[in-house]
Structure 1
Amino acid sequence: MSENNDYSLFDEVNYFVESAAKHLDLDKALIEQIKQCNSIYEFNFPLRNDDGSKEVLTGFRVQHSHHKVPVKGGIRYSEEVNVEEIKGLAALMTYKCALVEIPYGGGKGGVRINPRNYTVSQLEKITRRYTSELIKKNFIGPALDVPAPDYGTGAREMGWITDTYMAFHPDSINAKGCVTGKPLSLHGIPGRNEATGRGVFFGLREAVSVEEDMETLGLKTGLKGKTVIVQGLGNVGYHTAMYLEQAGAKVIGIAEYNGGIYDEKGIDIQKINKYKMDNDGFKDYNKGKFIENSTELLTYECDILVPAALENQITSNNAKDVKAKIIAEAANGPVTQEAEEILLKKNVLIIPDLYINAGGVTVSYFEWLKNLSRVSFGKLQKRYEKQKFQDLLDMMEENTGQKFSEKQKELIIKGASEKDLVESGLEETMVKAYHNMNEIRKKKNIKSLRTAGFVLALERIAISYMDLGIFP
């Protein structure tokens, strides 16, 4: 669903940057420098299939900003991949990292294929050749450009990228830091798979905790009892829905590319996900109503709408029919600028993509740090902390005469695991960023949370550029 045939995500992002710049006193040339992509690499490479046939594929890698290095951004496999989309996604990553204070510039990459049309063997060949093309032009490396999974890719592809990079750089001690979202066996990090969805949950939890904002929307604080519709039950949509369900929210609708399901009584997320995996869709599911045209679900009544699929989903064509009071942009760019203007007039709270889906890059940052230090988080102090708390409990029991139960002792003296520390760091990042963004919105009397987020990000990037100066 698009506004018109000339839709450009890059232009969309720059529109939001220009809107934010009106609230800051920055040099026009500096804003122009921030807006533009620093490096754009589009290339073609051949694929030899098992039957001997050949085809030519197109790949992309864009580095938007070098105000901080390395740059960071996912690799997507999709037939819709084009240079404007990749530029837009790379730019969005720049502002996203700045907003949540992760020290990366923005990047993005992709290959124009439908991965469903290729075997595992073919996908491995494509991934390894794509990686080698990036290596040739210095578009990948732990100090240069660190990709991650995105739409159509996952830990498997990141493992292939890691192995290919290591083959070209056998003497690099930091080689595994060339990519994040890797399998745990290749020094990935616990919690990365669910990081984006968990981040969306944290962001929504914080948004609905602000009483003043909820009163404006006519909602009570807290997630309990809130009705939710999710578009896209992939990795992000599934984990978002699962965490919201656990917090007491009720998921009443799920939209997928081949149909949706609606049940006002609530949908069991684990059951529907298993059914989808087994049947490639929701048709003939024994509960709820099957919706042939799943985009209709975007306009159904609910408290929270979570577009977790692709960009350009809520446009001027359907924004007027949207009934949700809160939209959490779990995908990148699902709400167009025209749609946002319509929704803001309807008093809809839009939690923007540059904030709400930043959980993935946040935990990717933790993985990268782990790879550079070559030690797991908590490994050096876990036993020490456990013993310290044990000694403290023993002292308390001895001095007070009070005995703790085994369950109480287990809770108190438990040392933090690597996953505990990752989730704690993610929660701290998302909580702090939301309230910083919301504070700017109110301080500057800005209606849009997105504009407030861009103001904060733009200001931080501008300071970096000014402190760096101009070479030579």
Structure 2
Amino acid sequence: MSAWREPFLRLNWTDTETRAKGYVVVDRLVGGIATGGTRMRAGCTLGEVEDLASGMSYKTGALNLPVGGAKGGIDFDPFDPQARGVLERFVRAVRPILDDYWVTAEDLGIPQDLLDEVFDEAGLGMSLHAALVRSADPDRTLTRVREAFAVDVEGVPMPDMIGGYGVAEAVGAAAERLGLVPGETRAVVQGFGSMGGSTARYLARGGIRVVGAVDAKGVIFNPGGVDVERLLKARSAYGEIDRSALGPGDRELPVEEWLSVEAEVLVPAAISYAIDADNCEKVNARLIAEAANVPVTADAEQRLLERGIPVIPDFIANAGAVGWAWWTLFGDITPEPMDAFEKLSVEMRRAVGQILEAWEAGTDSPREAARELSQRNLDEFARLYGEASATRTVL
């Protein structure tokens, strides 16, 4: 079992104008730096931010990134007219951390363009500031990052594609390990936004038949496989699919039937805690890959494991975007999409193979094996580069 460790830093902040609460948790530093997004939602708590910061450490460690994990959170309604002002004051208040060792990005309730606007107004340039200032050539690094973030793949921005590609590669590696043949393997994807949609696209291209696409309205089911590209073209900005685009053989099922659709692979890519102790017995799949954050509760996961159904944890399956961003910062890949896809495929398949090997040997659950793998990698990076001192610069 992984030993529990205290976070490097916990910070509480109170906005003087609205009394909104804000939190920063740096789970650990590696080479003097940590990464993790900043979210804003009514009801956000320090405990939530601490859990997410820990998850970021697991995520970076799993993909062999020499970076620690962190997270920021603000307990405030992001749709409130005062939300921007709250975010501005939060960034200014925690600027010493952002200056020195916390690299942040968009998260729930805070889009990236807004975050970069606020950073620029605060004199920090952009949310990647702490990484850029460590670079031997900040201008060259910034140019590389901007080129990479401007790339699109078939008309879709790279950040919206790389995460789903990583989930599909995790599924592919796990399916192979479990002896599932791509042409005979079926999948259901719950959630058809950027993550779920790109996951479905790359599952289909990898030969896995997507028989169910789930949005807020219900399940679109086709035993022969839905036309993923047709449905992607018919979805709204919120991931809802226009039913007038349904093709031959497609039929609609009630949303509550999404767990019981017959398929070997289930990908929850929408909301947290979607699979819990009350509904996990309905799962028909042989494998679950968590594309959303914490879509399977701990007690549900235990019951699934007792039935022989492994769960690829979120900090492995949905780590693609984080890996891509940091590989770009370090100069490990070029802005060309194929560079990112190839590296992510190698790292994802390696990690999934290792955690399932441990599970099959009976030593750990997939989640615990993934945590052990991540901690080992980060501990080795900390030994090489130090915890708090930055010995590896961004190139």
TM-score normalised by the chain length of structure 2: 0.80
Q: CA deviation at 1:164?
A: 3.5
Cα distance change, pair 188–281 in 1 and its aligned pair in 2 (3 A): closer
Is 1:107 aligned with 2:70?
Answer: yes
Give 2:218's aligned amino acid: G
- Report the counterpart of residue 151 of structure 1 in structure 2: 108
- Report the counterpart of residue 241 of structure 1 in structure 2: 200
Deviations 1:35-89 (A, max 9, x none): x222222323377xxxxxxx55433321111244311112233345322221111
Q: CA deviation at 1:354?
A: 2.3
Q: Please show how residues 182-261 of structure 1 align to structure 2 within 5 Å.
A: 185=146, 188=149, 190=151, 191-210=158-177, 213-214=178-179, 220-222=180-182, 224-256=183-215, 258-261=216-219
Q: Please show how residues 295-310 of structure 1 align to structure 2 within 5 Å.
A: 295-310=256-271
Q: CA deviation at 1:152?
A: 3.7
Cα distance change, pair 203–229 in 1 and its aligned pair in 2 (3 A): same
Give 1:132's aligned amino acid: R
Is 1:88 aligned with 2:88?
Answer: no
| Counterparts of 1:43 and 1:284, CA distance in 2 | 46
| Counterparts of 1:314 and 1:272, CA distance in 2 | 24
| Counterparts of 2:357 and 2:301, CA distance in 1 | 20
Cα distance change, pair 419–455 in 1 and its aligned pair in 2 (3 A): same
CA contact 1:260–1:282 (8 Å) conserved in 2: no
- Indicate the SS of the match to 1:194: helix
Give 1:112's aligned amino acid: D
Is 1:134 aligned with 2:88?
Answer: no
Cα distance change, pair 253–131 in 1 and its aligned pair in 2 (3 A): farther
| Counterparts of 1:464 and 1:110, CA distance in 2 | 27
- Report the counterpart of residue 14 of structure 2 in structure 1: 44
- Report the counterpart of residue 332 of structure 1 in structure 2: 293
CA contact 1:156–1:183 (8 Å) conserved in 2: no
In the alignment, which of 226, 229, 235 is matched to residue 276 of structure 1? 235
CA contact 2:27–2:53 (8 Å) conserved in 1: yes
- Report the counterpart of residue 220 of structure 2 in structure 1: 262
- Indicate the SS of the match to 1:330: coil
Cα distance change, pair 446–291 in 1 and its aligned pair in 2 (3 A): same
CA contact 1:196–1:359 (8 Å) conserved in 2: yes
- Indicate the SS of the match to 2:235: helix
Q: Please show how residues 387-466 of structure 1 align to structure 2 within 5 Å.
A: 418-442=336-360, 445-446=362-363, 448-462=365-379
CA contact 2:30–2:387 (8 Å) conserved in 1: no
Give 2:170's aligned amino acid: G
- Indicate the SS of the match to 2:11: strand
Q: CA deviation at 1:451?
A: 1.8
Give 1:109's aligned amino acid: G
Cα distance change, pair 282–145 in 1 and its aligned pair in 2 (3 A): same
Q: CA deviation at 1:107?
A: 0.9
Q: Matched residue pairs, number?
A: 372
Cα distance change, pair 148–244 in 1 and its aligned pair in 2 (3 A): same
- Report the counterpart of residue 160 of structure 1 in structure 2: 117
- Indicate the SS of the match to 2:285: coil
Q: CA deviation at 1:300?
A: 2.8
Cα distance change, pair 165–278 in 1 and its aligned pair in 2 (3 A): closer
Is 1:366 aligned with 2:327?
Answer: yes
Q: CA deviation at 1:161?
A: 4.6
CA contact 1:72–1:105 (8 Å) conserved in 2: yes
- Report the counterpart of residue 353 of structure 1 in structure 2: 314
Unaligned runs of at least 5 residues, structure 2 = 152-157, 390-395
| Counterparts of 1:436 and 1:195, CA distance in 2 | 22
| Counterparts of 2:10 and 2:92, CA distance in 1 | 17
CA contact 1:307–1:328 (8 Å) conserved in 2: yes
CA contact 1:132–1:164 (8 Å) conserved in 2: no
Unaligned runs of at least 5 residues, structure 1 = 1-19, 22-30, 48-54, 215-219, 371-375, 379-416
Larger radius of gyration: 1
Cα distance change, pair 345–156 in 1 and its aligned pair in 2 (3 A): same
Q: CA deviation at 1:301?
A: 2.4
Q: CA deviation at 1:199?
A: 0.8
CA contact 1:64–1:87 (8 Å) conserved in 2: yes
Q: CA deviation at 1:295?
A: 4.8
In the alignment, which of 268, 279, 297 is matched to residue 318 of structure 1? 279
Q: CA deviation at 1:165?
A: 5.0
- Report the counterpart of residue 154 of structure 2 in structure 1: none
Higher RCO by CA contacts (8 Å cutoff, separation 6 or greater): 2
Q: Please show how residues 161-176 of structure 1 align to structure 2 within 5 Å.
A: 161-167=118-124, 174=132
TM-score normalised by the chain length of structure 1: 0.68
CA contact 1:124–1:160 (8 Å) conserved in 2: no
| Counterparts of 1:144 and 1:317, CA distance in 2 | 42
